[in-house]
Structure 1
Amino acid sequence: MAKKYERVLLKLSGEALMGELSYGIDPAIVDSISDEIAKTVKEGLQVAIVVGGGNIFRGIKGAASGMERATADYIGMIATVMNAMTLQDALERKGIATRVQTAIEMQELAEPYIRRRAIRHLEKERVVIFGAGSGNPFFTTDTTAALRAAEINAEVVFKATKVDGIYDSDPKVNPNARRYQTLTYGHVLEKDLRVMDGTAIALCKDNSIPIIVFDISVPGNIYRALVGESLGTLVGGSCEVS
Protein backbone atom coordinates (compact mmCIF):
# COMPACT_ATOMS: atom_id res chain seq x y z
CA MET A 1 0.00 0.00 0.00
CA ALA A 2 1.28 3.45 -0.92
CA LYS A 3 -0.11 5.46 1.98
CA LYS A 4 -1.86 8.71 1.15
CA TYR A 5 -2.41 9.55 4.83
CA GLU A 6 -0.51 9.00 8.07
CA ARG A 7 -3.29 9.70 10.59
CA VAL A 8 -7.04 9.67 9.97
CA LEU A 9 -10.26 9.91 11.92
CA LEU A 10 -13.14 7.59 11.02
CA LYS A 11 -16.64 8.63 12.07
CA LEU A 12 -18.99 5.66 12.43
CA SER A 13 -22.66 6.04 13.21
CA GLY A 14 -24.20 3.71 15.74
CA GLU A 15 -26.60 2.57 13.02
CA ALA A 16 -23.63 1.28 11.03
CA LEU A 17 -23.10 -1.38 13.72
CA MET A 18 -26.62 -2.79 13.58
CA GLY A 19 -26.68 -3.77 9.89
CA GLU A 20 -30.19 -4.82 8.94
CA LEU A 21 -31.32 -5.15 12.54
CA SER A 22 -33.87 -2.68 13.89
CA TYR A 23 -31.93 -2.18 17.13
CA GLY A 24 -28.64 -3.07 18.78
CA ILE A 25 -25.43 -4.53 17.42
CA ASP A 26 -24.91 -7.11 14.67
CA PRO A 27 -21.73 -9.06 15.57
CA ALA A 28 -21.12 -9.98 11.92
CA ILE A 29 -21.17 -6.31 10.89
CA VAL A 30 -18.81 -5.33 13.70
CA ASP A 31 -16.48 -8.16 12.70
CA SER A 32 -16.48 -7.00 9.08
CA ILE A 33 -15.82 -3.35 10.02
CA SER A 34 -13.02 -4.31 12.39
CA ASP A 35 -11.45 -6.54 9.71
CA GLU A 36 -11.07 -3.58 7.36
CA ILE A 37 -9.78 -1.26 10.07
CA ALA A 38 -7.30 -3.88 11.25
CA LYS A 39 -5.98 -4.30 7.72
CA THR A 40 -5.18 -0.59 7.42
CA VAL A 41 -3.51 -0.49 10.84
CA LYS A 42 -1.31 -3.46 9.95
CA GLU A 43 -0.20 -1.51 6.88
CA GLY A 44 0.95 1.40 9.04
CA LEU A 45 -2.01 3.82 9.14
CA GLN A 46 -2.80 5.62 12.41
CA VAL A 47 -6.56 5.34 12.98
CA ALA A 48 -8.79 7.12 15.48
CA ILE A 49 -12.52 6.45 15.61
CA VAL A 50 -15.54 8.38 16.88
CA VAL A 51 -18.62 6.20 17.15
CA GLY A 52 -22.23 7.26 17.62
CA GLY A 53 -24.90 5.56 19.71
CA GLY A 54 -28.06 5.81 17.61
CA ASN A 55 -28.42 2.02 17.38
CA ILE A 56 -29.06 1.97 21.13
CA PHE A 57 -30.33 5.40 22.15
CA ARG A 58 -30.55 8.75 20.38
CA GLY A 59 -30.75 11.75 22.68
CA ILE A 60 -32.76 13.97 20.37
CA LYS A 61 -35.48 11.30 20.07
CA GLY A 62 -35.59 10.94 23.83
CA ALA A 63 -36.04 14.69 24.12
CA ALA A 64 -38.79 14.63 21.50
CA SER A 65 -40.72 12.12 23.60
CA GLY A 66 -40.64 14.39 26.64
CA MET A 67 -37.33 13.58 28.31
CA GLU A 68 -35.20 16.51 29.47
CA ARG A 69 -32.74 17.13 26.59
CA ALA A 70 -29.50 17.16 28.59
CA THR A 71 -30.45 13.93 30.37
CA ALA A 72 -31.34 12.30 27.05
CA ASP A 73 -28.01 13.37 25.54
CA TYR A 74 -26.06 11.93 28.47
CA ILE A 75 -27.84 8.60 28.02
CA GLY A 76 -26.88 8.74 24.35
CA MET A 77 -23.25 9.31 25.34
CA ILE A 78 -23.32 6.15 27.45
CA ALA A 79 -24.63 4.27 24.40
CA THR A 80 -21.59 5.40 22.41
CA VAL A 81 -19.31 3.89 25.05
CA MET A 82 -21.07 0.55 24.67
CA ASN A 83 -20.39 0.69 20.94
CA ALA A 84 -16.77 1.77 21.50
CA MET A 85 -16.15 -1.19 23.80
CA THR A 86 -17.72 -3.54 21.25
CA LEU A 87 -15.37 -2.25 18.54
CA GLN A 88 -12.42 -2.49 20.91
CA ASP A 89 -13.16 -6.15 21.62
CA ALA A 90 -13.51 -6.97 17.91
CA LEU A 91 -10.24 -5.23 17.01
CA GLU A 92 -8.26 -6.77 19.83
CA ARG A 93 -9.44 -10.25 18.82
CA LYS A 94 -7.71 -9.49 15.52
CA GLY A 95 -4.46 -8.58 17.24
CA ILE A 96 -4.87 -4.79 17.08
CA ALA A 97 -3.90 -2.85 20.22
CA THR A 98 -6.79 -0.53 21.06
CA ARG A 99 -7.65 2.11 23.64
CA VAL A 100 -11.09 3.51 24.43
CA GLN A 101 -11.01 7.08 25.73
CA THR A 102 -14.17 8.66 27.08
CA ALA A 103 -15.13 12.29 27.59
CA ILE A 104 -17.05 11.25 30.71
CA GLU A 105 -14.85 9.50 33.25
CA MET A 106 -15.49 5.75 33.49
CA GLN A 107 -12.25 4.58 35.08
CA GLU A 108 -13.22 0.92 35.38
CA LEU A 109 -13.97 0.70 31.67
CA ALA A 110 -11.81 3.16 29.74
CA GLU A 111 -9.22 5.91 29.91
CA PRO A 112 -10.32 9.52 30.28
CA TYR A 113 -9.81 11.56 27.14
CA ILE A 114 -6.36 13.15 27.27
CA ARG A 115 -5.19 14.66 24.01
CA ARG A 116 -1.46 14.01 24.41
CA ARG A 117 -2.08 10.43 25.53
CA ALA A 118 -4.35 9.81 22.53
CA ILE A 119 -1.64 11.06 20.17
CA ARG A 120 0.96 8.88 21.88
CA HIS A 121 -1.26 5.81 21.47
CA LEU A 122 -1.62 6.56 17.76
CA GLU A 123 2.14 6.94 17.40
CA LYS A 124 2.48 3.48 18.96
CA GLU A 125 0.09 2.05 16.32
CA ARG A 126 -2.84 1.66 18.69
CA VAL A 127 -6.34 2.42 17.49
CA VAL A 128 -7.98 5.05 19.69
CA ILE A 129 -11.77 4.94 19.96
CA PHE A 130 -13.39 8.05 21.40
CA GLY A 131 -16.57 7.43 23.36
CA ALA A 132 -19.12 9.59 25.21
CA GLY A 133 -19.11 12.26 22.52
CA SER A 134 -17.59 15.56 23.61
CA GLY A 135 -18.89 15.06 27.16
CA ASN A 136 -21.40 17.87 26.67
CA PRO A 137 -25.12 17.71 25.88
CA PHE A 138 -26.49 19.47 22.79
CA PHE A 139 -23.47 18.46 20.68
CA THR A 140 -23.53 15.65 18.12
CA THR A 141 -20.92 12.96 17.58
CA ASP A 142 -20.28 14.57 14.19
CA THR A 143 -19.09 17.66 16.04
CA THR A 144 -17.02 15.42 18.31
CA ALA A 145 -15.41 13.85 15.24
CA ALA A 146 -14.41 17.26 13.88
CA LEU A 147 -13.16 18.38 17.29
CA ARG A 148 -11.09 15.26 17.96
CA ALA A 149 -9.68 15.33 14.42
CA ALA A 150 -8.42 18.86 15.02
CA GLU A 151 -7.04 17.99 18.45
CA ILE A 152 -5.06 14.93 17.30
CA ASN A 153 -3.90 16.57 14.05
CA ALA A 154 -5.72 14.11 11.81
CA GLU A 155 -5.28 14.77 8.11
CA VAL A 156 -8.84 13.90 7.13
CA VAL A 157 -12.23 12.94 8.57
CA PHE A 158 -13.96 9.95 6.96
CA LYS A 159 -17.72 10.02 7.45
CA ALA A 160 -19.16 6.54 6.88
CA THR A 161 -22.79 6.61 5.77
CA LYS A 162 -25.33 4.41 4.00
CA VAL A 163 -25.17 6.43 0.78
CA ASP A 164 -22.27 6.79 -1.64
CA GLY A 165 -21.64 10.50 -1.10
CA ILE A 166 -23.44 13.82 -0.85
CA TYR A 167 -26.42 14.52 -3.14
CA ASP A 168 -28.27 17.69 -4.01
CA SER A 169 -31.47 16.00 -2.83
CA ASP A 170 -32.47 12.71 -1.22
CA PRO A 171 -31.59 9.94 -3.70
CA LYS A 172 -34.13 7.65 -2.05
CA VAL A 173 -36.89 10.11 -2.95
CA ASN A 174 -35.53 11.68 -6.13
CA PRO A 175 -34.14 9.21 -8.72
CA ASN A 176 -32.58 12.16 -10.55
CA ALA A 177 -30.64 13.38 -7.52
CA ARG A 178 -27.13 14.48 -8.42
CA ARG A 179 -24.14 13.19 -6.49
CA TYR A 180 -21.32 15.64 -5.94
CA GLN A 181 -17.72 14.49 -6.33
CA THR A 182 -16.28 17.55 -4.60
CA LEU A 183 -17.75 20.38 -2.54
CA THR A 184 -16.53 23.38 -0.60
CA TYR A 185 -17.37 23.73 3.08
CA GLY A 186 -19.26 26.90 2.20
CA HIS A 187 -21.47 25.13 -0.33
CA VAL A 188 -22.38 22.43 2.21
CA LEU A 189 -23.34 25.08 4.75
CA GLU A 190 -25.10 27.36 2.26
CA LYS A 191 -27.19 24.56 0.76
CA ASP A 192 -27.77 22.92 4.16
CA LEU A 193 -26.85 19.53 2.73
CA ARG A 194 -26.89 17.98 6.21
CA VAL A 195 -24.23 15.33 5.76
CA MET A 196 -22.80 16.56 9.06
CA ASP A 197 -24.14 19.24 11.36
CA GLY A 198 -23.12 22.84 10.76
CA THR A 199 -20.83 23.02 13.79
CA ALA A 200 -18.83 20.01 12.55
CA ILE A 201 -18.50 21.48 9.06
CA ALA A 202 -17.41 24.85 10.47
CA LEU A 203 -14.81 23.20 12.72
CA CYS A 204 -13.33 21.31 9.79
CA LYS A 205 -13.37 24.46 7.69
CA ASP A 206 -11.62 26.53 10.37
CA ASN A 207 -8.92 23.86 10.76
CA SER A 208 -8.60 22.96 7.04
CA ILE A 209 -9.54 19.32 7.61
CA PRO A 210 -11.09 17.69 4.53
CA ILE A 211 -14.13 15.44 4.93
CA ILE A 212 -14.73 12.38 2.78
CA VAL A 213 -18.25 10.96 2.79
CA PHE A 214 -18.53 7.36 1.57
CA ASP A 215 -20.80 4.31 1.61
CA ILE A 216 -19.97 1.89 4.41
CA SER A 217 -22.45 -0.72 3.20
CA VAL A 218 -20.19 -1.79 0.31
CA PRO A 219 -17.73 -4.47 1.51
CA GLY A 220 -14.17 -3.23 1.39
CA ASN A 221 -15.06 0.46 1.25
CA ILE A 222 -13.63 1.31 4.68
CA TYR A 223 -10.26 -0.08 3.67
CA ARG A 224 -10.37 1.56 0.25
CA ALA A 225 -11.34 4.94 1.69
CA LEU A 226 -8.76 4.94 4.46
CA VAL A 227 -5.88 4.06 2.15
CA GLY A 228 -6.75 6.92 -0.15
CA GLU A 229 -8.81 5.52 -3.02
CA SER A 230 -11.23 8.00 -4.54
CA LEU A 231 -14.67 7.25 -3.08
CA GLY A 232 -17.80 9.22 -2.35
CA THR A 233 -17.68 13.00 -1.98
CA LEU A 234 -14.75 15.14 -0.86
CA VAL A 235 -15.52 18.32 1.09
CA GLY A 236 -12.63 20.76 1.31
CA GLY A 237 -11.70 24.41 1.21
CA SER A 238 -9.90 24.31 -2.15
CA CYS A 239 -12.40 22.04 -3.90
CA GLU A 240 -14.42 23.10 -6.90
CA VAL A 241 -18.07 22.09 -6.77
CA SER A 242 -18.45 19.15 -9.17
Structure 2
Amino acid sequence: MKYKRILLKLSGEALMGDEGYGIDPKRLEQYAQEIKKVKDLGLEIAIVIGGGNIFRGIQAEGAGIDRVQGDYMGMLATVINGMAVQGVLENHGMYTRLMSGFKIEQVCEPFIRRRAIRHLEKGRVVIFGAGIGNPYFTTDSTASLRAIEIEADVVLKGTRVDGVYTADPEKDADAKRYSKISFQEVYEKGLNVMDMTAFTLCQENDLPIIVFDMNKPGNLLDLVNGEKVGTLIQS
Protein backbone atom coordinates (compact mmCIF):
# COMPACT_ATOMS: atom_id res chain seq x y z
CA MET A 1 0.00 0.00 0.00
CA LYS A 2 1.10 3.55 -0.68
CA TYR A 3 0.09 4.76 2.79
CA LYS A 4 0.20 3.33 6.30
CA ARG A 5 -2.00 5.86 8.14
CA ILE A 6 -4.64 8.07 6.55
CA LEU A 7 -7.10 10.69 7.67
CA LEU A 8 -10.37 10.53 5.74
CA LYS A 9 -12.39 13.75 5.67
CA LEU A 10 -16.08 13.34 4.86
CA SER A 11 -18.63 16.11 4.51
CA GLY A 12 -21.81 16.04 6.52
CA GLU A 13 -23.80 16.80 3.37
CA ALA A 14 -22.51 13.58 1.81
CA LEU A 15 -24.26 11.59 4.54
CA MET A 16 -27.61 12.93 3.33
CA GLY A 17 -27.36 10.76 0.23
CA ASP A 18 -30.66 11.04 -1.63
CA GLU A 19 -32.38 12.53 1.39
CA GLY A 20 -32.88 16.26 1.78
CA TYR A 21 -31.73 16.33 5.38
CA GLY A 22 -30.16 14.17 8.07
CA ILE A 23 -28.52 10.79 7.49
CA ASP A 24 -29.24 8.36 4.66
CA PRO A 25 -28.76 4.75 5.89
CA LYS A 26 -27.86 3.63 2.35
CA ARG A 27 -25.03 6.14 2.13
CA LEU A 28 -23.76 5.12 5.58
CA GLU A 29 -23.76 1.50 4.49
CA GLN A 30 -21.88 2.33 1.30
CA TYR A 31 -19.19 4.24 3.17
CA ALA A 32 -18.81 1.43 5.71
CA GLN A 33 -18.24 -1.09 2.91
CA GLU A 34 -15.62 1.13 1.29
CA ILE A 35 -13.80 1.72 4.58
CA LYS A 36 -13.96 -2.01 5.42
CA LYS A 37 -12.14 -2.90 2.19
CA VAL A 38 -9.30 -0.58 3.12
CA LYS A 39 -9.22 -1.60 6.77
CA ASP A 40 -8.87 -5.26 5.79
CA LEU A 41 -5.57 -4.36 4.13
CA GLY A 42 -4.18 -3.33 7.51
CA LEU A 43 -4.34 0.42 6.96
CA GLU A 44 -4.65 2.71 9.99
CA ILE A 45 -7.70 4.95 9.52
CA ALA A 46 -8.86 8.15 11.21
CA ILE A 47 -12.03 9.95 10.15
CA VAL A 48 -13.32 13.51 10.48
CA ILE A 49 -16.94 14.21 9.51
CA GLY A 50 -18.68 17.52 8.99
CA GLY A 51 -22.09 18.36 10.40
CA GLY A 52 -23.70 20.28 7.54
CA ASN A 53 -26.44 17.70 7.07
CA ILE A 54 -27.76 18.66 10.51
CA PHE A 55 -26.55 22.17 11.34
CA ARG A 56 -23.91 24.66 10.22
CA GLY A 57 -22.52 27.27 12.58
CA ILE A 58 -22.79 29.96 9.91
CA GLN A 59 -26.56 29.34 9.76
CA ALA A 60 -26.86 30.57 13.33
CA GLU A 61 -26.60 34.28 12.63
CA GLY A 62 -29.50 34.16 10.18
CA ALA A 63 -31.60 32.51 12.86
CA GLY A 64 -30.70 35.13 15.47
CA ILE A 65 -28.29 32.82 17.29
CA ASP A 66 -24.87 34.02 18.40
CA ARG A 67 -22.12 32.72 16.07
CA VAL A 68 -20.16 31.11 18.88
CA GLN A 69 -23.27 29.33 20.15
CA GLY A 70 -24.04 28.26 16.60
CA ASP A 71 -20.55 26.83 16.12
CA TYR A 72 -20.95 24.71 19.23
CA MET A 73 -24.27 23.48 17.85
CA GLY A 74 -22.45 22.54 14.64
CA MET A 75 -19.81 20.68 16.66
CA LEU A 76 -22.53 18.65 18.36
CA ALA A 77 -23.89 17.81 14.90
CA THR A 78 -20.51 16.28 14.00
CA VAL A 79 -20.70 14.11 17.12
CA ILE A 80 -24.12 12.81 16.01
CA ASN A 81 -22.66 11.97 12.60
CA GLY A 82 -19.64 10.38 14.26
CA MET A 83 -21.88 8.16 16.37
CA ALA A 84 -23.78 7.09 13.26
CA VAL A 85 -20.59 6.20 11.40
CA GLN A 86 -19.22 4.45 14.48
CA GLY A 87 -22.33 2.29 14.74
CA VAL A 88 -22.31 1.16 11.11
CA LEU A 89 -18.55 0.49 11.09
CA GLU A 90 -18.92 -1.73 14.14
CA ASN A 91 -21.79 -3.55 12.42
CA HIS A 92 -19.20 -4.46 9.80
CA GLY A 93 -16.85 -5.91 12.40
CA MET A 94 -14.47 -2.99 12.83
CA TYR A 95 -13.29 -1.76 16.21
CA THR A 96 -13.72 1.97 16.65
CA ARG A 97 -13.20 4.87 19.01
CA LEU A 98 -15.06 8.18 18.87
CA MET A 99 -13.01 11.05 20.29
CA SER A 100 -14.40 14.52 20.96
CA GLY A 101 -12.84 17.97 20.92
CA PHE A 102 -14.69 18.68 24.18
CA LYS A 103 -15.94 16.42 26.96
CA ILE A 104 -19.07 14.34 26.33
CA GLU A 105 -17.99 11.42 28.44
CA GLN A 106 -21.21 9.45 28.18
CA VAL A 107 -20.76 8.88 24.43
CA CYS A 108 -17.11 9.43 23.52
CA GLU A 109 -13.59 9.93 24.80
CA PRO A 110 -11.95 13.34 24.98
CA PHE A 111 -9.25 13.77 22.35
CA ILE A 112 -5.80 12.92 23.72
CA ARG A 113 -3.13 12.73 21.04
CA ARG A 114 -1.14 9.80 22.44
CA ARG A 115 -4.30 7.82 23.12
CA ALA A 116 -5.54 8.42 19.56
CA ILE A 117 -2.25 7.18 18.12
CA ARG A 118 -2.37 4.11 20.35
CA HIS A 119 -5.89 3.30 19.18
CA LEU A 120 -4.68 3.47 15.58
CA GLU A 121 -1.71 1.24 16.35
CA LYS A 122 -4.11 -1.30 17.85
CA GLY A 123 -6.12 -1.39 14.64
CA ARG A 124 -9.09 0.72 15.72
CA VAL A 125 -10.76 3.21 13.41
CA VAL A 126 -10.63 6.56 15.21
CA ILE A 127 -13.40 9.07 14.53
CA PHE A 128 -12.80 12.68 15.57
CA GLY A 129 -15.96 14.61 16.49
CA ALA A 130 -16.74 18.09 17.85
CA GLY A 131 -14.11 19.78 15.71
CA ILE A 132 -11.10 21.01 17.66
CA GLY A 133 -13.39 22.09 20.48
CA ASN A 134 -13.31 25.80 19.64
CA PRO A 135 -15.63 28.04 17.57
CA TYR A 136 -14.64 29.69 14.28
CA PHE A 137 -12.77 26.60 13.04
CA THR A 138 -14.17 24.37 10.31
CA THR A 139 -14.07 20.58 10.15
CA ASP A 140 -11.54 21.01 7.31
CA SER A 141 -9.26 22.67 9.86
CA THR A 142 -10.00 19.82 12.26
CA ALA A 143 -9.00 17.29 9.60
CA SER A 144 -5.70 19.06 8.87
CA LEU A 145 -4.80 19.55 12.52
CA ARG A 146 -5.70 16.02 13.63
CA ALA A 147 -3.85 14.54 10.65
CA ILE A 148 -0.71 16.42 11.67
CA GLU A 149 -1.12 15.43 15.32
CA ILE A 150 -1.51 11.72 14.60
CA GLU A 151 1.27 11.82 11.97
CA ALA A 152 -0.96 10.69 9.12
CA ASP A 153 0.63 10.20 5.71
CA VAL A 154 -2.10 12.01 3.81
CA VAL A 155 -5.48 13.76 4.10
CA LEU A 156 -8.06 12.16 1.83
CA LYS A 157 -10.91 14.57 1.23
CA GLY A 158 -13.92 12.60 0.03
CA THR A 159 -16.36 14.77 -1.90
CA ARG A 160 -19.04 14.35 -4.57
CA VAL A 161 -16.66 15.47 -7.34
CA ASP A 162 -13.63 13.53 -8.57
CA GLY A 163 -10.95 16.11 -7.87
CA VAL A 164 -9.96 19.75 -8.18
CA TYR A 165 -11.05 21.53 -11.36
CA THR A 166 -10.17 24.78 -13.09
CA ALA A 167 -13.79 25.84 -12.39
CA ASP A 168 -16.88 24.37 -10.79
CA PRO A 169 -17.60 21.28 -12.94
CA GLU A 170 -21.26 21.35 -11.93
CA LYS A 171 -21.59 24.82 -13.48
CA ASP A 172 -18.94 24.87 -16.21
CA ALA A 173 -18.90 22.04 -18.74
CA ASP A 174 -15.45 23.13 -19.95
CA ALA A 175 -13.82 22.79 -16.52
CA LYS A 176 -10.67 20.64 -16.57
CA ARG A 177 -9.56 18.37 -13.74
CA TYR A 178 -6.06 18.51 -12.31
CA SER A 179 -4.46 15.13 -11.63
CA LYS A 180 -1.71 16.83 -9.62
CA ILE A 181 -1.16 20.40 -8.45
CA SER A 182 1.05 22.20 -5.94
CA PHE A 183 -0.10 24.14 -2.90
CA GLN A 184 1.30 27.31 -4.45
CA GLU A 185 -0.65 26.81 -7.67
CA VAL A 186 -3.87 26.37 -5.71
CA TYR A 187 -3.20 29.70 -3.98
CA GLU A 188 -2.33 31.50 -7.20
CA LYS A 189 -5.32 30.18 -9.13
CA GLY A 190 -7.75 30.80 -6.25
CA LEU A 191 -9.06 27.23 -6.34
CA ASN A 192 -11.51 26.18 -3.65
CA VAL A 193 -10.10 23.08 -1.92
CA MET A 194 -10.31 23.77 1.81
CA ASP A 195 -10.61 26.85 3.96
CA MET A 196 -7.38 28.82 4.16
CA THR A 197 -6.51 27.80 7.72
CA ALA A 198 -6.81 24.09 6.91
CA PHE A 199 -4.95 24.43 3.64
CA THR A 200 -2.08 26.41 5.16
CA LEU A 201 -1.68 23.86 7.96
CA CYS A 202 -1.17 21.12 5.37
CA GLN A 203 1.23 23.21 3.31
CA GLU A 204 3.39 24.26 6.25
CA ASN A 205 3.63 20.68 7.51
CA ASP A 206 4.22 19.17 4.05
CA LEU A 207 1.09 17.03 4.38
CA PRO A 208 -0.37 16.03 0.99
CA ILE A 209 -4.09 16.26 0.27
CA ILE A 210 -6.02 14.12 -2.19
CA VAL A 211 -9.47 15.30 -3.26
CA PHE A 212 -11.52 12.44 -4.70
CA ASP A 213 -15.06 11.15 -5.27
CA MET A 214 -15.96 9.07 -2.22
CA ASN A 215 -19.31 8.11 -3.72
CA LYS A 216 -17.79 6.05 -6.54
CA PRO A 217 -17.40 2.42 -5.38
CA GLY A 218 -13.78 1.26 -5.26
CA ASN A 219 -12.22 4.74 -5.38
CA LEU A 220 -10.93 4.66 -1.81
CA LEU A 221 -9.39 1.21 -2.27
CA ASP A 222 -7.75 2.17 -5.57
CA LEU A 223 -6.39 5.35 -4.03
CA VAL A 224 -4.61 3.66 -1.10
CA ASN A 225 -3.21 1.08 -3.51
CA GLY A 226 -1.44 3.85 -5.37
CA GLU A 227 -3.81 4.30 -8.32
CA LYS A 228 -4.21 7.80 -9.75
CA VAL A 229 -7.58 8.78 -8.29
CA GLY A 230 -8.74 12.36 -7.82
CA THR A 231 -6.33 15.29 -7.49
CA LEU A 232 -3.08 15.15 -5.50
CA ILE A 233 -2.03 18.43 -3.85
CA GLN A 234 1.49 18.60 -2.47
CA SER A 235 4.51 20.88 -2.20
Q: Specify the TM-score bucket, using the shorter chain as the normaliser.
A: over 0.9
Q: How does 1:168-187 map to 2 (within 5 A)?
A: 168-187=166-185
SS in 2 for 1:199: helix
CA shift, 1:234, in A, is 0.5
> What residue is the counterpart of 2:144 in the other structure?
146
> What residue is the counterpart of 2:226 in the other structure?
228
2:30 matches 1:32: yes
Q: Which moved more, 1:127-136 or 1:211-220?
A: 211-220
Q: Which moved more, 1:151-160 or 1:30-39?
A: 30-39
Name structure 2 gaps, 5 residues minimum. Answer: none
* One-letter identity of the residue aligned with 1:73: D
Q: TM-score, normalised by structure 1?
A: 0.94
CA shift, 1:15, in A, is 1.0
CA shift, 1:139, in A, is 0.5
CA shift, 1:132, in A, is 0.3
Name structure 1 gaps, 5 residues minimum. Answer: 238-242
Quick check: 1:167–1:178 contact (8 Å CA) kept in 2? yes
- Within 1, Cα distance between the matches of 2:152 and 2:210? 13
Quick check: 2:179–2:228 contact (8 Å CA) kept in 1? no
Q: Could you give the per-residue CA deviations for residues 67-108 of structure 1, whole angstroms, max 9, x where no partner exists?
A: 211111100000000000111110111110000000010000
Quick check: 1:30–1:87 contact (8 Å CA) kept in 2? yes
Instruction: Give the one of 110, 114, 125 matched to 2:108.
Output: 110
* One-letter identity of the residue aligned with 1:21: E
SS in 2 for 1:116: helix
SS in 1 for 2:158: strand
Q: Which moved more, 1:96-105 or 1:181-190?
A: 181-190
Instruction: Give the one of 97, 100, 103 matched to 2:98.
Output: 100
> What residue is the counterpart of 1:56 in the other structure?
54
* One-letter identity of the residue aligned with 2:93: G
- Within 2, Cα distance between the matches of 1:4 and 1:226? 6
Runs ≥4 in structure 1, deviation > 4 angstroms? none
Instruction: Give the one of 195, 213, 231 matched to 1:197.
Output: 195
CA shift, 1:194, in A, is 1.5
* One-letter identity of the residue aligned with 1:89: G
- Within 2, Cα distance between the matches of 1:141 and 1:192? 20
Quick check: 1:189–1:198 contact (8 Å CA) kept in 2? no
2:17 matches 1:19: yes
Q: Which moved more, 1:189-198 or 1:69-78?
A: 189-198
Identity %: 54
Q: TM-score, normalised by structure 2?
A: 0.97
- Within 2, Cα distance between the matches of 1:18 and 1:226? 25
CA shift, 1:217, in A, is 2.0
| Corresponding residue pairs, total | 235
CA shift, 1:174, in A, is 1.1
